[in-house]
Structure 1
Amino acid sequence: MASPSQKASKPKGITGRSLAVDGKDLFSALAKGVMHSFQGKWDEVASDSIDAVKALGIGTEPPAIAYILIRRAATASMFELVGETAKSGFFGTKPYASSTKTVLDFTISEHDIPIDKAFFQKPTELKVVKSFQALLCRWLELMGLEAHIANAVGGRFPAYYLYALNEEWKKHSKLYQPLLDSTDTPFQDASNQMWAWQSYASRLELAINESTFEEAFSLKQIYVPLRAYYEVFPIHKELDGMDKRKRTKRIVELKNELSTWLGNGKKDDAIRIISGGPGSGKSSFAKIFAAHIANSTEIKVLFIPLHRFDSSKDLTEAVGDFVTEENILPHNPLSPTNGETNLLIIFDGLDELASQGKAAVETARAFVREVDLTLEKRNSQTLKLRAIISGREMVLQDNETEFSSRRPHQLLTLLPYYIEEEVNDDDNNEEEIIDPDDLYDYDQRDIWWQQYGELTGKKYEGLPKHLDRDDLNEVTSQPLLNYLVALSYTRGALDFTKAVNLNKIYADLVSSVHERAYENKRRYTQIEGMTLESFARVLEEVGLAAWHGDGRTTTVREIEEHCFNNGLDRHLKTFEQGAKAGVLRLLAAFFFRQYGRRSSSGDATFMFTHKSFGEYLTARRIVRAMEKVAKERDNRRESSDEGWDEREALWRWVQLAGPSPMTSYLFRFVQNELRLKGKAKARKIQSCFAELFSLVLRSGMPMEQLPRTTFKQENFMARNAEEALLVCMSACARVTQEISPISHATRLVFGAWFRRVQGQRYSPASALAAYHLDFLNLEETELAVVDFYSANLSNSVLRGAEVQHAIFIQANLNYTNMEGVKADGASFEDATLIKTNLEKAKLLGANFSAARFHEVNLNGARMHDGALEHAIIRDTVTDAVLFELHPAQVASIQRAANEEMLKIHREGLLAEALNNVESES
């Protein structure tokens, strides 16, 4: 440790020494590396150049050692950055390496580099580092890169340098120890823990500065700050004495909101939940925020992607395992004995815990509870630990009861780049926007496209006019999808003046990766002859393998098994040869990357960069299977020696859809894919699936044909396959707008089937099947006391069905034919009934409180007990029969009748009620 006199002395520095001693050699080596990158020798050249940085006879005093540290870090970071640029093909095939030796004067002006606090705490702000960065940009241009690409690559240099600096120190800590002894800094007594946190902070910064989708720029350079809202529910007293909850959204800038929360430091307010849909920017924000807090505050940050986290273990134990396996820290930051006292953990991807269906959704709920419990325990005396959890909005809805009691600020929902104006006709659910900073109406797409234009040299002033369309708003408003639109738009392969859905954009992305490989045939000759169709087929099997696993990751062995079972062996071999030659790098930029090895088998594991990519590829594979099933059923009908019978078709289907449950996100891609196929194709599949679903209702799935497992596993697979059959049939029906002609062996079979698939409710969210009961033939079925809470039964036929005491709360009954239905005692609270046919329906005792009626046919319907008293009725003309009404109820309904042209036929009413009605008239 330095003596007091040394601490008081003037800091030593590197004086009178130009860092251009071997600068010219460095850039010459980089140019040589670019040339050798086409021969796959980049890493070899880089290693030789980094190892060549020696002491150079300048001594072992702190100034000399500091020079070595800076020089090695600069060399390593430049080779890493330029290597990525070379492998991405930005230099083309003929870089101007020979001209740089004579044109560039690689001289950095002399700088004094004081060895003080700034040397350790703000190393990227040193003048010499900025000089290296400027030279790198200039050299990249001389190597043939356009100015915007050179600036984008050079702009990422500080983060790479910071990471390389920390890695170099860790590797040769003994060599650099004199630097610590020569200055008065907190690092003199630094422990391994402190260095580990600093190194990890540099990793977080590097992660957001790495190339995005093989572009020259990084996430940090293209990122647009996100907005969010939280809800508050002030109570207002109405004139009629009823309390009304008025939904209020407060709009905030997410980074500022969370920074303020961290600054408040309240031990009883230690958690935030971030909710958003696929591609809404949850993970991007989490990474950006983690790097910002880790590198600009005293708070220690741990970023944990939950798909890499073992939630089955105790939280403290699982965190310890994570930091060990990821080589982040030498200690467990949640240890009761030596844990951190100012820690923020960001858990990214709560939906990753819910990839295996209902049981895993319960796992997600249990995980949040354990985080809450850990926070309460750790913060019992003083604030030590805080947590941020992000997840898809559907997972949070599945766990609504877990989050409903939280403080308003704790649950933050992401807003898109562009917010379409909502039309709200429901007077009972008024919504108020509190927006003190005028954030709500701001279209962030213009900002994003301006940044994208600057980084790519396109000079966009905002969202291009061809993309500023109502049918594309949903896509361009989401950060990830907006970027994919930009890739397709600049590629010019899609005609954006015509209808374009998300699947078309993803398909164009697959095509662009395939074309990139063919554009570089000299580098990727191994895939020559592999058509786009074959290329896409292999990718589909990768997506299917991931879906059958945990939803995001899969292994080489699992991919090989899927390809072998589907006759793709030859294509997979070609694909693998191309991958070894470098095509995998192209795929990794867009679809998935290798991530470690699976602990149970040791197989190399591949992880989808964005989960929605896997869902899209899986959806393509599912639709391909749907077409195959329909085709083979047609072949069997033409010839008894060809094709598949019903049982074999179901057996094939359960192999595809049984291992994992369908999700609403996957359904969206399936439906988009079917829309691209057209009505004729969808109609054929719908007819086939109606036939197969009818067989399922009669006889169940042919599980006896599968290799024997456990009854529980077979039941799980059967349930998944049956639900997927219904959901895919619904997807077809939404394209054809036609009823699925399923047949019922008895009146009871459908209700029994739905109860089994729905299962015991554990949250307000229903099973996926409940949202896909549309366009079904349920005529004269027995559905008494069935739980249709929030179900979608629109456009279905329930004529003559028995639904007494059934639950239709918040159900969608639009355009549903319920003529003659027996719904006595059924609950239709908050349901939507647009052009619903309730002619001659028996609705005695039915509850329509807050139900929304619009052009509903109630001719001959029978009801009483004030069923319509609190309903919202619009343009409904009817001749209903009302029984046993109290006078006040009759008067209330009569008032609604006068206002909404509702005609009431009275039968068996009390004389007093009739008098009241007449007097009211």
Structure 2
Amino acid sequence: MNAEIPGWEAQHQFSKLGELELDNNQADKALTSFPDSILGQALNYHLSTYLEGKGIEQNIAFLVTGWVAWDTYKQIEQLLSYERENVLQSLSLTISAAQEIRKVQKYASIESYLIENISPTPKEPILIERWKVIGEDFTIPEIYVSLEAQLLDSNKLKENKAIVNLENWVKEQLNKPEKNRQVMFIQAGPGRGKSVFCKMFANWVREHLHPIWTPILIRLRDIDTFEPNIENTLRAAVRENFTNCDDWLSDRKTRYLFILDGFDELRFEGRTAKGIEDFLQQVGNYQAQTGCRHRFIVTGRESALHGIENRIPTNLNRLEIALMDDELQNQWLEKWSRLFGQDKAEEFQKFIEAVNCPVRVYELAREPLLLYLLAAMHRDNILTIEMFDDANDAQAKIIIYQETLDWVLTKQRPEKLNQELTEFDTEDLRLILTEAGLCITQSGKEWTSIKTIEERLKSEKSAREMLEKAKQNLGENPLRNALAAFYLRPAKATESTEGAVEFIHKSFGEFLCAQKITENLKKWVRLDSESRRDRFIIDDDKLSEEIYDLLSYGGLTPEIVEYLMALLDSEKQFNYLKLFERLEYFYQDWCRGKFINGSPNNLPLNQMQKFRTANILLDLRQVDIYAGLNVMILLLELYRYFHNNDEFRDKIIFYPCGKVGSNNFDNQLLLRIIGYSNSVTVGIFSETVGNFLLGASLEGVYLAGVHLAGASLDRANLSQANLKGAYLSEANLELANLKSANLSGANLSEASLAFADLEDANLQGANLSKASLVYADLKDANLQGVYLEDASISEANLLRANLEGANLQGANLQGANLSGASLEDANLQGANLEGAYLGRTSFDNEVYLEGANFKGANLTKVTLSGAYLEGANFTRANLEGACFLRFDLSEAKLDEAYLDEAYLEGINIKSIDLD
């Protein structure tokens, strides 16, 4: 509070309290419930008056006095300890009453919550485990270093903004009243330290800012139900007595800092981003309320915002956790040396800085989770540089996770001890862990019940026999021991999570889920060695059943797909072509509705019923939709992966609508798939598949009016496609082929079309505000009436483009080629045309060019009759042969302009600068 209180001033201020006379009842009240007593109220009054006199805000003073009054009982207890025994005996009933009253008071409940849920020294074993580092005896505070972050602007790094210390930045926000309506929104990829930051910062607030700010840490994965009223959702998540009062958020004596960790782990009915959008909107609206006393920090993966970027609250103050720089890495290694010795730390540092250390490993060592895993394996002598030869980012991560798995299963605990603890050998444990990874991913809740894992294992004969044997030897549930020992820990104890487990880190679950899917993919291409023909051991019917079993739970995430492709890449002699063909056959059958209409064996129905037994509440359509969309994702990834491979380039080609000109081409097929997907929730196709459309072959498809906001369509072939009225806001169309495409009336606001080929494209009436068209080819394109306000069109080719009536206000056309373009009735107010080429461009009629920058532009033989150019800048522009008939050049700047043979009849040159 930064208020100095000299002793003599305080003594004088509170000396009046000694003049109070209390009768026996009032004295008892002061002992049993000091804050409500006359003495307590007097103390509050004098303390508030004093603090406000020292410049403390009234609401803060009120908050502090409330906690001081409650804490006064501890001082009274100390004074009573000096009293004689007979005095204490006479007060024993009153003291007991005081202790009982304090137990049920709000402040006591808050203090208990802070000790158990925020401090690193809770009593509950489950909560103690959350402070431990994976597989180690030491805790998070012993290895944690404060992270750095980069400020964001609409999910883009703010230009010319320095890296900030994350903790210091958050502290500054809490001390700025003008930021009270802003939600602090921290995003980062997996393993970057989001959750650890939340734990450490919450504890720092508890130690240094409570009760000015009382930290409430909520793992969003723990929320079971979401109420229309966010107050009720928060109450249900905290589950403490102090939230039971109706005024728990309006009470002036408390002020909370809500730290909501893991918005990407929010799961709602339908598995769609709509739930995330609605929840973030609730948080944003609550924070923006006039008089809101509390603050919110929200963390999570940026990928969870895919497709909803333009619909999230505008009052999010966003930043992204940066990779660890050399200084932070050295701080971390210093802490590592305190735990395991200077020699170990220096050897590891030499390893990651060695000339022959792969660049991928060096880069991954800047992510906190992977830095720890690398250091731990190096400490235990199982990390070598040769392990990472020729590995890309994803492959390097796979190697680290695989080696970590081996390390946990064999090095940390000898195999003999594993069997003594669990009755399972190492391979059994691998199987159990991959099934657990799939179950947790499918649950959508970051945890799953041991019973669900057991049911999945029982579906295979060998696994079922393994379980029965282990159960006989142990006499109890063998899975509980196995899962407790490796990677997993009990989930937070609630009715819905009883007997449940969760992974120590989400990335492990995703990796193991990818391993499980990979094992099935390998089986799908395996041939029956006993068959004379090329017969698969998994026939088509069984394949379809397994696809629904594995892939109908929700959308595959980019992280899982990345692991999946890296795992397949590590396989020798894998038959990619057969996998592609089998998946494509399934896709074609799915498009025809074969499975949803199946009778009597209806695979979506069967799988829906299986999910229900595991408490996964998806309806029939959702199960069918996700199975088809996930297979589509795999086909798109295989096509992308082999696009530049000479062996498979002409063999593995995925056409979502069939190949143009072939008998099976159906230009509306993808439109129907999108419509079917969106029948559950609008935008579900974009949210699920949108990240994977890079390089897609969509030539000639009909996608009028589709919702593909934020989709990754860079390098996609959309030539001659009909995208009339499509919603493509914030979509990535860089280097896309849009030649002769119909984009009339499409919403491309903030979309990226850099280097895209838009020759002969129809963009009439499209919204391209704030879009990027840098180096795009718009030759002969129809941009009539298009909305390009504040768009970036620098170096673009607009040769002979039709820009009649276009709004280019504030657009950046620096270096663009506008030769022969038609700009009649266009609005270029404040546009930047510096260095642009406008030779023979037509500006007939009332073109509005006020304040436009034509510095250095080539305007040879340009026609500017009737245009309005007040204040325009023509410095060093080439105006040779230009026609300025009936032109308003008042206050324009023409110094060093080249006006040879320029036609200036009837122009207004008032205040013109002709230096």
Q: Which runs of 5+ in 2 are unaligned?
A: 1-75, 89-94, 122-127, 610-616, 644-648, 659-663, 820-832, 848-860, 865-879, 883-901, 903-915
What residue is the counterpart of 1:405 in the other structure? 314
Which structure 2 residues correspond to residues 641-720 of structure 1 after superposition, within 5 A? 643-645=538-540, 648-677=542-571, 681-699=575-593, 701-702=595-596, 704=598, 705-706=602-603, 707=605, 713-720=619-626
What residue is the counterpart of 2:148 in the other structure? 227
Contact 1:578/1:584 (<8 A) preserved: no
What residue is the counterpart of 2:495 in the other structure? 599
Contact 1:882/1:905 (<8 A) preserved: no
Displacement after TM superposition at 1:290 (Å)? 2.4
CA distance 1:367–1:341, shift in 2 (3 Å): farther
What residue is the counterpart of 2:61 in the other structure? none
What residue is the counterpart of 2:243 in the other structure? 332
Between Structure 1 and Structure 2, how many residues are aligned?
A: 700
Q: Deviations over 1:69-92 (max 9, x none)?
A: xxxxxxxxxxxxxxxxxxxxxxxx
What residue is the counterpart of 1:479 in the other structure? 368
What residue is the counterpart of 1:294 in the other structure? 206
Amino acid across the alignment from 1:447: Q
Relative to the length of structure 2, the TM-score reads 0.64
Establish whether residue 803 from structure 1 lines up as the match of residue 723 from structure 2. yes
Q: Distance in 2 between matches of 1:868 and 1:358?
A: 37
CA distance 1:494–1:836, shift in 2 (3 Å): farther
Amino acid across the alignment from 2:633: V
CA distance 1:253–1:403, shift in 2 (3 Å): farther
What residue is the counterpart of 2:323 in the other structure? 416
What residue is the counterpart of 1:283 in the other structure? 195
What residue is the counterpart of 1:788 in the other structure? 708
Displacement after TM superposition at 1:654 (Å)? 1.8
Instruction: Return the match for 1:310 from 224, 230, 237.
Output: 224
Instruction: Return the match for 2:454 from 560, 568, 584.
Output: 560
Establish whether residue 627 from structure 1 lines up as the match of residue 522 from structure 2. yes
What residue is the counterpart of 1:205 in the other structure? 120
Q: Distance in 1 between matches of 2:173 and 2:807?
A: 56
Q: Distance in 2 between matches of 1:674 and 1:250?
A: 40
Amino acid across the alignment from 2:439: A
Question: Which deviates further from its counterpart, 471-480 or 626-635?
Answer: 626-635
What residue is the counterpart of 1:114 in the other structure? none
CA distance 1:340–1:478, shift in 2 (3 Å): farther
Displacement after TM superposition at 1:509 (Å)? 1.3
SS across alignment from 1:606:
strand
Establish whether residue 610 from structure 1 lines up as the match of residue 505 from structure 2. yes
CA distance 1:369–1:269, shift in 2 (3 Å): same
CA distance 1:351–1:636, shift in 2 (3 Å): farther
Contact 2:217/2:260 (<8 A) preserved: yes
What residue is the counterpart of 1:218 in the other structure? 139
Displacement after TM superposition at 1:507 (Å)? 1.2
Question: Which deviates further from its counterpart, 625-634 or 614-623?
Answer: 625-634
Establish whether residue 454 from structure 1 lines up as the match of residue 338 from structure 2. yes
Displacement after TM superposition at 1:597 (Å)? 6.2
CA distance 1:820–1:595, shift in 2 (3 Å): closer
Contact 2:714/2:735 (<8 A) preserved: yes
Q: Distance in 1 between matches of 2:532 and 2:139?
A: 56
CA distance 1:347–1:337, shift in 2 (3 Å): closer
Establish whether residue 256 from structure 1 lines up as the match of residue 165 from structure 2. no
SS across alignment from 1:303:
strand
SS across alignment from 1:652:
helix
Question: Which deviates further from its counterpart, 307-316 or 771-780?
Answer: 307-316
Relative to the length of structure 1, the TM-score reads 0.64
The structure with the greater share of residues assigned to helix is 1
Displacement after TM superposition at 1:591 (Å)? 1.9
Displacement after TM superposition at 1:404 (Å)? 4.0
Displacement after TM superposition at 1:713 (Å)? 0.5
Q: Distance in 2 between matches of 1:893 and 1:369?
A: 38
Displacement after TM superposition at 1:686 (Å)? 3.1
Which structure 2 residues correspond to residues 811-822 of structure 1 after superposition, within 5 A? 811-822=731-742
Instruction: Return the match for 1:390 from 299, 311, 321.
Output: 299
SS across alignment from 1:767:
helix
CA distance 1:765–1:481, shift in 2 (3 Å): farther
CA distance 1:305–1:834, shift in 2 (3 Å): closer
Q: Distance in 1 between matches of 2:742 and 2:284?
A: 47
Displacement after TM superposition at 1:444 (Å)? 1.4
Q: Deviations over 1:221-249 (max 9, x none)?
A: 0000122344579xxxxxxxxxx997564
What residue is the counterpart of 2:41 in the other structure? none
Q: Distance in 1 between matches of 2:310 and 2:759?
A: 38
SS across alignment from 2:407:
helix
Instruction: Return the match for 2:817 from 896, 913, 917.
Output: 896
Q: What is the aligned-residue identity percentage?
A: 21
Establish whether residue 731 from structure 1 lines up as the match of residue 632 from structure 2. no
CA distance 1:511–1:871, shift in 2 (3 Å): same
Instruction: Return the match for 2:694 from 770, 774, 777.
Output: 774
Contact 1:658/1:721 (<8 A) preserved: yes
Instruction: Return the match for 1:916 from 863, 879, 885.
Output: 863
Q: Distance in 2 between matches of 1:762 and 1:202?
A: 44
Contact 2:742/2:763 (<8 A) preserved: yes
Amino acid across the alignment from 1:450: E
What residue is the counterpart of 1:514 in the other structure? 409
CA distance 1:386–1:823, shift in 2 (3 Å): closer
Contact 1:693/1:726 (<8 A) preserved: yes
Q: Distance in 1 between matches of 2:712 and 2:286?
A: 39
Displacement after TM superposition at 1:403 (Å)? 5.3
SS across alignment from 2:570:
helix
CA distance 1:910–1:182, shift in 2 (3 Å): closer
TM-align CA RMSD: 5.1
Q: Which runs of 5+ in 1 are unaligned?
A: 1-176, 234-243, 419-441
Q: Distance in 1 between matches of 2:531 and 2:493?
A: 44
CA distance 1:560–1:903, shift in 2 (3 Å): same
Q: Distance in 2 between matches of 1:793 and 1:297?
A: 47
SS across alignment from 2:448:
strand
Structure with more contact order per residue of length (Cα contacts < 8 Å, sep ≥ 6): 1
Which structure 2 residues correspond to residues 170-181 of structure 1 after superposition, within 5 A? 181=80
Q: Distance in 2 between matches of 1:361 and 1:762?
A: 10
Q: Distance in 2 between matches of 1:635 and 1:849?
A: 63
What residue is the counterpart of 1:503 in the other structure? 398
Q: Distance in 2 between matches of 1:360 and 1:379?
A: 33
Instruction: Return the match for 1:751 from 668, 671, 675.
Output: 671
Amino acid across the alignment from 2:487: F
Which structure 2 residues correspond to residues 366-385 of structure 1 after superposition, within 5 A? 366-368=278-280, 383=293, 385=294
Which structure 2 residues correspond to residues 879-890 of structure 1 after superposition, within 5 A? none
Amino acid across the alignment from 1:718: D
Q: Distance in 1 between matches of 2:640 and 2:719?
A: 21
Q: Deviations over 1:621-646 (max 9, x none)?
A: 2222333334479999946796423x
Contact 1:875/1:900 (<8 A) preserved: no
Displacement after TM superposition at 1:514 (Å)? 1.4
Displacement after TM superposition at 1:202 (Å)? 3.9
Displacement after TM superposition at 1:454 (Å)? 2.6
